[in-house]
Structure 1
Amino acid sequence: MKKTKIAIIGECMIELSGKAFSTQTQQFGGDTLNSAVYLSRLLSHVSPYYITALGQDEYSLLMLQAWEEEGLDCSLVLRDKERLPGLYSINIDDSGERSFYYWRDNSAAKYMCQHLMFVPNIAKVMDADIVYLSGISLSILPIHDREILLDALSTLKKHGATIITDSNYRPKLWKDRIDAKFWLDNLYRLSDIALVTGDDEELLLGIENTPPQNIADRLHALGVWNVVVKLGAKGAMWSSQHGETGYVDAEPVDQLVDTTAAGDSFNAAYIAAYSQGLTMAESCTWGNRLASKVIQHKGAIIPIENMQTLITTMEQTNEK
C-alpha cells in the first residue's frame, strides 16, 4: 500500500434536522468533513489531517472525538476560545421537502486563517502529497483571509503538494456570481485536479446545458491539469491535460433515498484511488461506486458496515 500524506481544509458545523420547534436530531456535517471521513474509511493506512477551527465548548469536543474515532488526524484542528462552531438546520415539512438555514457568520471556522496557529499548522503539512478543499472552504472566509488561504495553497503547491478542489458552488455564500467566479478561478489556477459538478459549473457560469468538455476546457485553460465533471445519474466525464478524455457510467442504484454528500463521497473515493496510483478512469469508477452506495441511505455519512465491501475491495486493490 502506498503511504500518502493527505490534508483536508474546510468547515464542519452542528446540524439540526427535523421540524422547527419540534424534536430535532443533532448531528454534524460539512462537505470536506464528509470527504475526510469516507477517505479515512477507504484508506485505513492513511489518517487524513483535517484542518479547521472549532470552539472550546462541549459540542466542539464531541465533534473532535467523533472525527478521531473515524481515523482522522485532528492534531491541526484549531481551537478558538472566543467562538463556537457554525450551526445549520434542515427543516423537513409534512411533504418531505427540506429547507436549510445557516448560522455561521461568527463561527470559529470562518476566522481560522486569523488564528495564530493557522500558518504554523500549514507548515506542518508542507510535505503533504495531497491537499483537498472546496469552494465552500474559501467562500466562508473574509476577503483578506481568502488571500491568506490562497497564499498557503501556493506555498504547499511549490513544495510538491497536489492541490485538489471542488467548487461546490453555493450562490448564497457569495456576494454575487462575479465575486464567486473571481475567487473560484483563482483557486482553480492553483489546482492540479478539479472534481466539479456539472450543475454547479453551469450555475456559476450562468449557462445552461454546457457540454462537460467545455467545462473541462475552461478549467484546463486556468491551469488545471486533470478535470472530472460529475454528471449525477449520467456518471462522470474525465479530461486530462494531455487531451485524453472519457466517460464512466454511473453505478446502478436500486432505490434513491438521499443525494446528500453524493459529490463529497465521490471526491473521497476518487482521491483514495488516485492516491494509490489508479488512473483517472479507474478513480472515477471508484467515485461512482461509493456515491451510489451513499445515495441509497439517509444522511451524509452512512454506517460503515454499509460500505464494508467497498473498503475490502479497496484494500485488495492496494495490495496488488
Structure 2
Amino acid sequence: MIELSGKPFSGQEQRFGGDTLNTALYLSRLVPGLAPSYVTALGEDTYSQHMLKAWQDEGIDTALTVQIPGKLPGMYAIELDEQGERTFHYWRGESAAKALCQQAQFSTIMATLQSYDLVYLTGISLAIFSDEDKHAFLLALESLKASGVKIAVDSNYRPRLWPNAADACEWLGKLYQLSDIALVTAEDEDAMLGMQDSPASIIATRLHSMGVKQVVVKLGSEGAMWSEKGQSGQARTNKVDHVVDTTAAGDSFNAGYLAAWSMGMTMAECCHWGNKLASRVIQHQGAIIPRDQTHYITELMSI
C-alpha cells in the first residue's frame, strides 16, 4: 500500500508499507540471500511500478506478485500522537490485492508455493477477500499444509475490516487450525474476543487447542511470551526511552522471529531477535527504517 505520513494538507511524505510487506522486507534484510517471495496484486500504474522496483532493490522476489490492468494499490495515511501511537486512515476498497484469488495466476502461484518451507500471512490477508475468496484461499492453504509447507500467521485483527467480531473469530479460527506458528498480539486477541487483559498463557492455551504448535503472544513494552510442547517463557525487551512511531512494531518483530527461526534458533532466541528489531523500528518514523539500522541487527545475529 502507499503510505502517507505527516499532517494532512501539509508536507506529507510518500512511502510504501503494509503488514506482510513490512515483514518480508525486514526478513530479506536480516537474512541476506534469502530472497523471500511476496505474493500480492498491484496495478500497472506508476505507483505500482515504483513499489515493485523498490521491493526488488530490497532483495524481495516479486515473481509471484500479480499486476492487474485497471487496478490500483491501496493507500493509507498515518497520524501520530505525542507518544508515537498511531491513527490510520485507509483507502483500499478497490485495491488490486483484494482481487488476487480471482486471477488466473492464483492456482499457479499456490502450486509454486508447495516447494517452499514456510508461508507467512496475517488476518488482514484474509479479511480483505470476499467470503467466496476466503474459502478458496483457505483451501489453497490446506493443500500447502498437506504438502508439508509450514504456515505462520499473525491475526493482526482490525475491526473495520470485518462485519463484526464473531465473523472475524470464525474465519481466523479456521486460519489458526491450519497454522504451525502463531505470532499474535495480546491486545488484538482480547479485542476480537471482547476480553480485557487476558493472561498470555490463556491466549496461548486457546491457540494450542486449535492445533498451533508454536505460539508467541506479543506484549508490547513487556516483550513476548512463547509456548511450545508444554514449555513456555517470556522474552523481555530492553526499555526504549523515546518511542517515535509504533508503526510496524509487530511486523518487524515477526520478521526478527522468522529470521531466527530460519536459522534453527529456539523460540526464546527467536523472540529475543524479534524484540531487538522491533525496539529499533519504533525509534524511527514510518514502517521502514533506514537500512543501516537493520544491518546492525543482522551483524549481531551472525555473531
Asked whether the two chains share a fold, i.e. TM above 0.5, the reply is yes
Q: Distance in 2 between matches of 1:261 and 1:100?
A: 12
1:92 is displaced (CA, Å) by: 5.8
Partners of 1:135 and 1:168 within 8 A in 2? yes
Partners of 1:43 and 1:315 within 8 A in 2? no
Task: Please list the CA deviations of residues 59-113 of structure 1 after superposition, one character each: whole Å capped at 9, or x if unmatched.
Answer: 0000000000000000110010021111112246899885422111111001111
Alignment of 1:73 onto 2:75 = no
Partners of 2:3 and 2:75 within 8 A in 1? yes
Residue aligning to 1:243? 230
Residue aligning to 2:200? 212
Q: Distance in 1 between matches of 2:84 and 2:158?
A: 22
Q: Distance in 2 between matches of 1:120 and 1:63?
A: 23
Show structure 2 runs of 5+ residues with no match: none
Residue aligning to 1:48? 36
Residue aligning to 1:279? 266
1:283-302 alignment runs, 5 A limit: 283-302=270-289
Q: Distance in 1 between matches of 2:13 and 2:161?
A: 25
Task: State the one-letter code of the partner of 2:220.
Answer: G
Show structure 1 runs of 5+ residues with no match: 1-12
Alignment of 1:225 onto 2:213 = yes
Tell me the number of residue pairs that the alignment of Structure 1 and Structure 2 aligns. Answer: 303
Partners of 1:235 and 1:247 within 8 A in 2? yes
Q: Which of 19, 37, 46 is the equivalent residue of 1:58? A: 46
1:275 is displaced (CA, Å) by: 1.2
Task: Please list the CA deviations of residues 17-53 of structure 1 after superposition, one character each: whole Å capped at 9, or x if unmatched.
Answer: 2233333211111000000010000000200000000
Alignment of 1:313 onto 2:297 = no
1:253 is displaced (CA, Å) by: 1.9
From the superposition, tell whether residues 294 and 115 of structure 1 become closer, same or farther in structure 2 (CA, over 3 Å).
Answer: same
Q: Which moved more, 1:244-253 or 1:83-92?
A: 83-92
1:299 is displaced (CA, Å) by: 1.1
Say which SS state the counterpart of residue 175 (structure 2) adopts.
helix
Q: Which of 229, 249, 252 is the equivalent residue of 1:262? A: 249
Provide the TM-score with structure 1 as the length reference.
0.91
From the superposition, tell whether residues 80 and 248 of structure 1 become closer, same or farther in structure 2 (CA, over 3 Å).
Answer: same
1:255 is displaced (CA, Å) by: 1.9
Q: Which of 114, 117, 121 is the equivalent residue of 2:105? A: 117
From the superposition, tell whether residues 276 and 93 of structure 1 become closer, same or farther in structure 2 (CA, over 3 Å).
Answer: closer
Provide the TM-score with structure 2 as the length reference.
0.96
From the superposition, tell whether residues 22 and 97 of structure 1 become closer, same or farther in structure 2 (CA, over 3 Å).
Answer: farther
Give every structure 1 segment of 4 or more consecutive aligned residues whose post-TM-superposition deviation is greater than 3 Å.
Answer: 91-99
Q: Distance in 2 between matches of 1:250 and 1:94?
A: 22
Q: Which moved more, 1:82-91 or 1:134-143?
A: 82-91
Partners of 1:85 and 1:108 within 8 A in 2? yes
Q: Which of 11, 27, 33 is the equivalent residue of 2:15? A: 27
Q: Which moved more, 1:96-105 or 1:40-49?
A: 96-105
1:312 is displaced (CA, Å) by: 1.3
Residue aligning to 1:6? none
Q: Distance in 1 between matches of 2:225 and 2:153?
A: 16
Alignment of 1:178 onto 2:195 = no
